[in-house]
Amino acid sequence: MQQIYNVVIRHPASASCLVVTLVSLFLFATSAPVISASPRTAANQPAYPVYGNGPVEVCLYTDYFCPPCRAIKASVDPLVRKLVELNRIRVVFVDVPLSKQSIEYAKEYLRCLHAYDNNLDTAITLKAHFNYAAENGRSIEAYLDTAGIVRTQERNSCVSTIFSFYNIKIKEDRVRATPTCVIAGENGFKESYTGGKAIVAALQRLL
């Protein structure tokens, strides 16, 4: 039985908000992966979660506390890696926080991403860690300390910049639910897909 929740999301640094509908379908178990990237020695620029140089833009909108978002990772991650490798897409990861707890997760994710070499494998591996922590009801700061995952102390500088970027993308793509994938191609083509099956099928068509 599916449950629908209406939640008002408020940007931590502004009065802007978004009403998001979350369709909770089923629970998917994950295990924490090993992060192999080395911490950066210098991190002067915000680590935007955008990867690849392909002509088609793929924006993936997810939330760490959304079971369907966690469920699609096993199918979506290999497809994204392959499409970036083939230079078919550039992929954008956008966190859509649905609660105070997930907002903190989103902020800590950016702080972690800012601390490591910013590449697709690191971004995907960190996402898996955060999904694991959310699924198991862990405080994200306590989990990161236990796992030995580094994050910067530049809490506001890079985070507020990227949260503004998130807000722009969410507004432009009219995201109303998670998980959502928006694919924008050449000649003004843009299509939105919501739910695991639709997202996986859309990405497979890009291969």
Domain spans of the chain, in order of start: 3-26+50-204
Q: Edge-to-edge strands of the sheet including 17-24?
A: 3-10, 17-24, 177-178
Distance CA 62, CA 155 (A): 22
Q: How many other β-carbons are positioned within 10 Å of the β-carbon of residue 28?
A: 16
* pLDDT band at residue 5 under the 50/70/90 scheme: very low
Structure confidence at residue 155 (pLDDT): 63
What is the predicted pLDDT for the residue at 158?
Answer: 78
Q: How many CA atoms lie within 13 A of 135 on its CB side?
A: 18
pLDDT score of 35: 60
Q: Does domain 3-26+50-204 have CATH number 3.40.50.720?
A: no
What's the DSSP call for residue 38? P
Helix, strand, or coil (residue 35): coil
**In whole angstroms, how far apart are CA 67 and each of 29, 155, 169, 176, 203?**
9, 27, 22, 16, 20
Instruction: Tally the C-alpha atoms within 13 A of residue 90's C-alpha that lie toward its C-beta.
Output: 12
pTM over 0.75: yes
Task: Name the burial class of residue 37, with classes exposed (0-12), middle (13-18) and buried (19+) by CB atoms within 10 angstroms of its CB.
Answer: middle
108: tokens are: 């800590």
Confidence at 1, pLDDT banded by 50, 70, 90: very low
Residue 196 has pLDDT above 80, yes or no: yes
